[in-house]
Amino acid sequence: MHAVLRGSAQTLFERSENFFDASFGGADNPLRHLGALGLFCLWILVATGLYLYTVLDTSIEGVYSSIDWLSHEQWYLGGVLRSLHRYASDAFVLVMILHLLREWAYGRYHGFRFYSWITGVPLIWLAYVSGIGGYWITWDRLAQFSAIATTELLDWLPIFSEPSARNFLTPDSISDRFFTVLVFIHIGVPLMLILGLWAHVNRISRVDYLPSRRVMLGTLASFLILAAITPALSDAPADLALVPAEIRLDWFILFLHPLTDITSPAAVWSLIFGATILLFVLPFLPHPAAAPIAVVDPANCNGCSRCHVDCPYEAITMAPHPDKPNHRIAIVDADHCAACGICAGACPSSTPFRSQETLVTGIDMPQQPVDVLRRQLEARVARLSGRTKLVVFGCDKGADVTALNSADTATLSLICTGMLPPSFIEYALRSGVDGIVVTGCRDGGCDFRLGMEWTRERLARSREPRLRSLVPLDRLQLAPASRHDGMQLAAAVSAFRTRLENQTAANTRPPAFSRRKIHHG
């Protein structure tokens, strides 16, 4: 049941992301960068909040009038910043929930991602505490409604000796000190949220603290247009002697209040605690066994640290080599390792041109060693026939490349495309292949975060290990394709083949190469 639900959600996300790609492209697709987009909203909240704090008067009368003054007297600055503060908070909640659902849908909550998932759960509580408390500071009818509804909900829990809702019983129940404490909480809780976010991203490298510039501009423009069309305004001042009539409710943050009214505090707390426990328990549910992690071969590790630099999860550290004085060796942290193989693709020893009968590299994946890759490549290339022979390197998480297998097309599916050492492309071309197609997840959609990005840079010769200059780029086609892009990939391969066949320029094939013993059966 859970697997079916998750699979359907994953398909929905994938199709939505592919749809968004048509307009945004992978790098600027907000759906593919929800975490970074959430952080951008948080930075807007921090920046606008600092200004709002400077003008806030925390007396009972002043708190309402000082905020209302912003919207009416200083609408061009304070009013806009107030609107940005409100809409960025709503967007933060929306993006946070989408981020949670997306990571769940893609199954990114167990194994090596356990830590990131678990540290993310308390952040939801902190976000809502910040959001709900923030609405009280305006001390209008909405604030009054939320304050009473929240305290009535809290009073259902056996934590206060006196009902906390008594603090809002009559107009003379609250004092100036209440808003001072409230502002302190509204600053303190977001600081805890930022600290929690630091922990949340602690186990990944090259964190996207901000989305791309285009995404930031697009999001900011959306908020500014909203601020111009429907600026955030206060309701009438709070009056504890009256029940607020019609409330312009923020459904992103305050939806718990009507939910409590139509159900009960017991039902709402059951929902809140139930959902929290479910999120905590989710990683402990039965899952397929984790894939074997990367293994370092001390004899072949030269301590170059390329694997350490390229690892998307900071799973590799460098330590003094036990056998080679003044050398270092890669050490794999089993808890952090995603078993993506990107490290094997980064290792300079992973070149198939080495004459060893059994290719042993510095860091390798037990489930798909580079030696097996070389054997498979040699065997499949040897079987190719036809006018234009192609090899397609793909990725288990992207479009299924095995569907492209034919007499003139050999395929090899890797754990992640980032596992492909560029030397394999040169090796295939020099073994008689006419063209190479490299596919993998779409831009921004790599299941292991950086696989396609590193591949693109390695093939563009801007990242080690680089594709050597003797490899003609016109015989290489990079064609990102997600799980549902099988037909598009087939079309791209077909178009590439046609282009190669129509290519009238001088033969750009690199010099032939034949390893001493090429057939291994």
Partner 1 sequence: MAKPVAIVGQIILYGAFAAFIGYFATAPTYKQIADDVALIKLSMSHLGGRECRKRTPEELAKLPPNMRAPLDCPRGRSDIKLLLELDGKPMFETVMHPTGLSKDGVSTVYKRFEVKAGTYKLAVKMNANLVLNHDFNFVKEAQVTLKPAEILVIDFNPDRGGLFFQSAEKK
DSSP secondary structure, 393-430, as one string: EEETTSS-GGGG-BTTEEEEEESSGGG--THHHHHHHH
Q: How far is the CB of 126 from partner 1 (least distance, A)?
A: 20
Q: How far is the CB of 227 from partner 1 (least distance, A)?
A: 9
Triad 372, 375, 379: Cα angle to 5°:
140
Instruction: Determine if the peptide bond prior to 237 is cis (ω within 30°).
Output: no
Q: Which is nearer to partner 1, 119 or 167 (CB)?
A: 167
Q: Which is nearer to partner 1, 240 or 272 (CB)?
A: 240
Residue pair 213/207 in contact by the 8 Å Cβ criterion = no
Q: Shortest distance, CB of residue 43 to partner 1, whole angstroms?
A: 17
- Closest approach, Cβ 262 to partner 1, in A, equals 11
Taking the alpha carbons at both ends of the chain, their separation in whole angstroms is 43
Output 85 or 397, the one with its CB closest to partner 1: 85
**Where does this chain bind partner 1 (CB under 8 A)?**
20, 22-25, 30, 86-87, 90-91, 94, 145, 152, 155, 161-163, 165-166, 169-172, 218-219, 221-223, 225-226, 229-230, 232, 239-252, 257-258, 261
Q: Which residues touch 394 (CB under 8 Å, ≥6 apart)?
A: 400, 401, 411, 412, 413, 414, 417, 438, 439, 440
Determine contact, residues 92/44, Cβ cutoff 8 Å.
no
Question: Which of 213, 516 has the CB closer to partner 1?
Answer: 213
How far apart, in Å, are the Cα atoms of 195 and each of 122, 191, 519?
11, 6, 56
Shortest Å, Cβ 89 to partner 1: 9
Burial 211-233 (b: 16+ CB within 10 A, else e): bbeebbeebeeebeebbeeebbb
| CB-nearer residue toward partner 1: 21 or 364 | 21
d(CA 516, CA 498): 33
Minimum CB–partner distance for residue 29 and partner 1 (Å) = 10
Cβ proximity to partner 1: between 128 and 393 the closer is: 128
Write out the H or E segment, with its range, that includes residue 364.
Answer: strand 363-364
CB 434 within 8 A of CB 408: no
Residue 148 or 450: which CB sits closer to partner 1? Answer: 148
Please, is 418 exposed, middle or buried when counting C-beta atoms within 10 Å of its C-beta (0-12, 13-18, 19+)? buried
Give dist(CA 54, CA 51) in Å, integer. 5
Nearer to partner 1, 264 or 508 (CB): 264
Smallest separation, CB 455 to partner 1 (Å): 24
CB of 365 to partner 1, least distance (A): 38
d(C-alpha 124, C-alpha 183), whole Å: 20
Smallest distance from partner 1 to CB 429, Å? 32
Tell me whether residue 38 or residue 465 sits nearer to partner 1 (CB atom): 38
Residue 476's nearest CA partner among 412, 425, 400, 401 is 425
